[in-house]
Amino acid sequence: MNATTQQFLNNSLGTRTTIDDVIEDLEFLDDWEERYAYIIDLGKQLPAFPDDQRTEANYVHGCQSQVWLIHHLDEDSGKLFLLIDSDAMIVRGLAAIILVALNAREPRELLTVDIDELFERLDLFRHISPTRGNGLRAMIAKIRDLAATEVGEQAPSRIS
């Protein structure tokens, strides 16, 4: 197992930290400063992103900040593992929330998660709304595409 695979599997976001933890924490904080301090702290929990993976192919295009995404399908568990990086702190924090919701899921299960509804509930929807050019929406779409591709590839093999 190489170092990058270890980084995928050791990611606590979406495994040890669950979406219920995040919802509970954020609902407890009503002051915007505390909420953003919390989101930024979550961003600090993103595992290190391999330097050699910051490539054009892994780059998610957005207007204001840079976002990179890589994935790994674990053959033993059938789960999709994700790593994300960004140069902006709040985007990193929001990416961490997305990972808590989507990381280490089987692709079929991942596709059932309603991210828009989750962000509405957290009162953060404006950050992923189509009007914002920060690349998060494009990233969510890319993750869902990855999952759909995995499901699509698996489906025929099950039929045969």
User: Interface with other proteins by CB under 8 A: which residues?
Assistant: 32-33, 36-37, 40, 63-66, 87-91, 127, 133-134
Say whether 85 is catalytic. no
Cβ 146 to other proteins shortest distance, Å: 25
Q: Which is nearer to other proteins, 57 or 63 (CB)?
A: 63
> Choosing from 1, 57, 63, 159, which is the catalytic residue?
63
Task: Round to whole Å and give the CA distance between 52 and 31.
Answer: 39
Cβ 94 to other proteins shortest distance, Å: 10
Q: Which of 160, 13, 6 is nearest to 84 (CA)?
A: 13
CB distance 74 to 81 below 8 Å: yes
Cβ 97 to other proteins shortest distance, Å: 14
What is the H or E stretch that residue 103 is in?
none
Q: Which is nearer to other proteins, 32 or 158 (CB)?
A: 32
CB atoms within 10 A of CB 126: 10
Task: Round to whole Å and give the CA distance between 6 and 47.
Answer: 10
Q: Which residues are catalytic?
A: 63
